[in-house]
Amino acid sequence: MLSVIIVNYNAGDLLFGCVEMVLASSKVKQVIVVDNASRDDSFKRVRRLAGDQRLQLIENQKNLGFSRANNMAMEKLRTESRYILFLNPDCEMSEGVAGRLLDFMENNEDVGMSTCLVANPDGSEQRGCRRHIPDLGNTLAALFPWSKTACRHDFNLSETPLPSAPVEVEAISGSFMFVRRTVIEAIGGFDEGYFLHCEDLDLCKRIGLAGWKIMFVPDVRIVHHQGVCSQARPLKVSWHKHCGMRRFFHKFYRKHYGFPLSLLVTAAIWFHFVLEIPQKLLVDRS
């Protein structure tokens, strides 16, 4: 049985379309939409679909963050749910996607989480769809592109050739995460110390450390209108993103790198945030 969890914040018309497409799949037996105090009418529109018994709506009075909202939804899962799809509200999913991933997970019992090809509206593969877990080298490469020549690899794999068959990857995008329920419950769900951004990397890291594979299945795709839910306040979103990066490194690498290198990474993260402030302020004011 597949349950789909969608966390919404100002997704506009895309939320209604997303939920409608998900409910059109015969493989989906439960859909939980959590609204984090949206200021638009996106959640009100979804109420029109409340006649479908598979749909459950949760309305928060304030924005509790992505991790907390997903954990709240997991508390409402039906007992018989074996798989969970964490899906962003600005995604378009066709009929065959859920069935393909269900079959794949059923036939690969060593896989804890999988994803499909997450595409931009123009059809190109979206950055972050498949990627490496952050380490010192690829994080510096992501923050400061001029340093890439000194790093063993880039953070994202979207510019590498698309594989022709399912392949194991270190991390996937939080916009589409197809997870075995026993796995995510065993590792304790989402880390609520992340408000927005990097909680998906944290989840991938812990699933990998627990001995489960994460797989990229390239023969089915969704379309992700990235950034729709966060475009209104780009500076605040950037702040949460950098907070998430700092938390991730502190949590997983502080002992490994030691204090001096950890201090260097922290300084680089916040230096990058400072560099972004003028650009984000201009967007805020526009």
Q: Treating both helix axes as pointing N-terminal to C-terminal, what angle do 199-209 and 234-285 enclose, rounded to 10 degrees?
A: 150
**pLDDT tens, 81-125?**
999 999 999 999 988 999 999 999 999 999 999 999 999 999 999
Q: Which two tokens stand for residue 101?
A: 């991933």
58 pLDDT higher than 80: yes
Q: Is there a single domain that holds both residue 124 and residue 247?
A: no
103 and 55, same domain (yes or no): yes
Name the one residue in this structure whose structure tokens are 């907070």. 243
Examine the fold and report which residue of 189, 211, 229 is the final residue of a domain before the chain moves on: 229
| pLDDT at residue 150, as a whole number | 45
Q: Is 255 found in the same domain as 220? A: no
Residue 132's CB: how many other CB atoms inside 10 A? Answer: 19
Q: Under DSSP, is residue 130 helix (H, G, I), strand (E, B) or coil?
A: strand
Is residue 58 located within the same domain as residue 161? yes
Range of the domain at 251: 233-286
Cβ pair 172, 216 in contact under 8 A:
yes
User: Looking at the structure, do residues 223 and 265 belong to the same domain, yes or no?
Assistant: no
Residue 224 · residue 119 · CB < 8 Å: yes
- Give CA torsion, residues 128, 130, 136, 139, to 10 deg: -20
Indicate whether 121 and 150 sit together in one domain.
yes
Sequence-distant (6+) residues with CB within 8 A of 215 are: 104, 108, 111, 113, 114, 115, 166, 167, 168, 169
In this structure, the answer to whether residues 100 and 53 fall within a common structural domain is yes
Distance CA 203, CA 186 (A): 12
By percentage, how much of the chain surpasses pLDDT 90?
74
For the chain, what percent of residues have pLDDT higher than 70?
92
Q: Which two tokens stand for residue 9?
A: 């914040």
CATH code, domain carrying 46: 3.90.550.10
Phi, psi of 220 (to 5 degrees): -130, 155
Q: In the 8-state DSSP scheme, what is residue 240?
A: H
State how many domains the chain has.
Answer: 2
Q: Please state, in angstroms and as integers, the Cα–Cα distance from residue 61 to each residue in 8, 31, 36, 207, following that order.
A: 13, 20, 7, 31
The pLDDT value recorded for residue 113 is 98
Higher pLDDT, 275 or 198: 198
> Which residue in the block uniquely carries the two structure tokens 């812990």?
206
Last residue within a domain, chosen from 186, 208, 229 = 229
Q: How many residues does the chain have?
A: 286
Boundary (domain end) residue, out of 229, 260, 276: 229
pLDDT exceeds 90 at position 69 = yes
DSSP reduced 3-state for 171: strand
Residue 223 near residue 95 (C-beta atoms within 8 A): no
Q: Are residues 169 and 151 in the same domain?
A: yes
Residues 283 and 200 in one domain: no
Q: Above 80 in pLDDT, residue 280?
A: no
Rounded to the nearest 5 percent, the helix, strand and coil shares of the chain are: 45, 20, 35
CA–CA dist 248, 139 (Å, integer): 11
> Could you tell me if 102 and 48 lie in one domain?
yes
Same domain, 119 and 216: yes
Residue 227 backbone class (left: φ over 0; alpha: ψ -120 to 50; beta: rest): left
The answer on 257 and 191 residing in a single domain is no
Q: Are the CB atoms for 87 and 6 separated by under 8 Å?
A: yes
pTM: 0.92
What is the spatial distance between Cα 43 and Cα 50, in angstroms, rounded to a whole number?
Answer: 11
